[in-house]
């Protein structure tokens, strides 16, 4: 059975569709024009970089600004224990997912320290952050160092490096105490292979769970695996070179703000004597706190102690 359609109604539908199509096209053209004239673009929880990469961030609380740069291969959620604590104590806390990690775009390029630092600079600009206390853990500590080395400290009030990778991790003629390149080749092989099992195994060393007397919950180990699996395989693979082979020596020499170095003395991922101890000699006036028996993931295993020390430094 067919139903007759009123000719005038057909004309109205056709006209409406044409107007809608024209409006949509105009809107798309306007959006494209806006994208080319405004950089970076910002939504409530992302900033779009010049190459189109979207960097996710979370922004809690109010007061003096503290930013957080996470370790490999995690994301901003790894900082929740510190962010929630500081937000309750009068600070505005902001953490982002590095490109390729977490909720940010799994970009095919710029998965290196210069790219990470430039992304952070665009986030700072988009949010108009000033007098920032920058905190970085592990790879995130390298990101903080490269940001200051590349973009200066105009927007920075203080810096904190926790279990951080600078000055440089890989062994060389100029860094004989470093880790052999074969160690990092093994990490790349793990990421390129059965990365799910690799991340489960890595979590044990990350939090020192295999040490006698260690008290690390299954939940802590599971969350490490979850965050790691949210990172793009290509991004995680390329980041290994970034955190292991980048030389931050000259970046550290440019630090001209109060800086705190925090490191676990039983760090199985970033050995303390080839990282924190050397960085402290390169940063003028750096303060140092070392935690006996503490692992790489001390922000989780010693959350209360780390939080108290951070608060004291930020308020000093």
Cβ atoms of residues 272 and 179 within 8 Å: no
Q: What is the pLDDT of residue 309?
A: 98
Instruction: Clarify whether 267 is annotated catalytic.
Output: yes
What distance in Å separates the CA atoms of residue 274 and residue 45, rounded to the nearest whole number? 37
Cβ atoms of residues 150 and 118 within 8 Å: yes
What distance in Å separates the CA atoms of residue 79 and residue 68, rounded to the nearest whole number? 7
Cβ atoms of residues 264 and 163 within 8 Å: yes
Q: What is the pLDDT of residue 8?
A: 41
Q: What is the pLDDT of residue 40?
A: 62
Instruction: Clarify whether 309 is annotated catalytic.
Output: no
Residue-averaged pLDDT of the chain: 90
Please give the structure tokens belonging to residue 286: 């750096």
Residues near 174 by Cβ (< 8 Å), separated by ≥ 6?
none
Confidence check: pLDDT of 137 > 80: yes
Q: What is the pLDDT of residue 31?
A: 38
Q: What is the pLDDT of residue 60?
A: 97
Instruction: Clarify whether 296 is annotated catalytic.
Output: yes
> Of the listed 267, 274, 275, 309, which one is catalytic?
267
Q: What is the pLDDT of residue 44?
A: 79
Cβ atoms within 10 Å of 92's Cβ, excluding its own: 18
Q: Report the pLDDT averaged over residues 154-183.
A: 98
Confidence check: pLDDT of 53 > 90: yes
Q: What is the pLDDT of residue 5?
A: 42
> Of the listed 138, 228, 244, 275, which one is catalytic?
138
Task: List alpha helices for the chain, DSSP H.
Answer: 7-37, 80-88, 113-127, 139-151, 181-192, 195-206, 218-229, 233-245, 249-253, 276-282, 298-301, 303-315
Q: What is the pLDDT of residue 42?
A: 64
Confidence check: pLDDT of 311 > 90: yes
> Of the listed 80, 97, 296, 309, which one is catalytic?
296
Q: pTM for this structure? A: 0.87
Cβ atoms within 10 Å of 77's Cβ, excluding its own: 18
Q: What is the pLDDT of residue 159?
A: 98
Confidence check: pLDDT of 30 > 60: no
* pLDDT band per the 50, 70, 90 thresholds, residue 15: very low
Residues near 104 by Cβ (< 8 Å), separated by ≥ 6?
46, 53, 54, 55, 56, 96, 97, 98
83-102 confidence digits (pLDDT tens): 999 999 999 999 999 999 99
């Amino acid at each position: 059975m067919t139903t007759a359609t009123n000719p005038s109604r057909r004309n109205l539908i056709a006209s409406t569709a044409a107007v809608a199509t024209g409006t949509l096209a105009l809107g798309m053209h306007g959006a494209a024009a806006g994208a080319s004239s405004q950089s970076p673009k910002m939504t409530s929880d992302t900033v779009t970089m010049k190459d189109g990469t979207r960097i996710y961030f979370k922004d809690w609380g109010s007061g003096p600004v503290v930013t957080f740069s996470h370790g490999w291969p995690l994301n901003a959620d790894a900082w929740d224990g510190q962010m929630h604590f500081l937000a309750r104590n009068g600070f505005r806390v902001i953490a982002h997912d590095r490109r390729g990690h977490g909720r940010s775009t799994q970009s095919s390029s710029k998965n290196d320290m210069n790219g990470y630092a430039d992304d952070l600079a665009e986030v700072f600009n988009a949010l108009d952050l000033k007098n920032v206390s920058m905190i970085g853990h592990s790879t995130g500590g390298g990101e903080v160092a490269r940001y200051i080395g590349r973009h200066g400290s105009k927007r920075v009030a203080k810096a904190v490096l926790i279990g951080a990778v600078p000055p440089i991790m890989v062994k060389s003629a100029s860094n004989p105490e470093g880790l052999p390149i074969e160690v990092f080749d093994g990490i790349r092989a793990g990421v390129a292979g059965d990365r799910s099992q690799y991340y489960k195994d890595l979590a044990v060393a990350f939090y020192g769970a295999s040490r006698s007397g260690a008290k690390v919950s299954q939940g802590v180990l599971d969350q490490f695996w979850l965050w790691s699996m949210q990172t793009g395989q290509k991004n995680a693979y390329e980041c290994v070179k970034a955190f292991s082979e980048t030389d931050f020596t000259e970046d550290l020499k440019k630090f001209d703000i109060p800086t705190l170095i925090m490191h676990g003395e039983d760090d199985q991922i970033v050995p303390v004597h080839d990282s924190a101890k050397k960085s402290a000699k390169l940063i003028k006036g750096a303060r140092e706190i070392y935690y006996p028996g503490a692992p790489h993931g001390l922000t989780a295993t010693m959350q209360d102690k780390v939080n108290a020390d951070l608060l004291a430094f930020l308020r000093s």
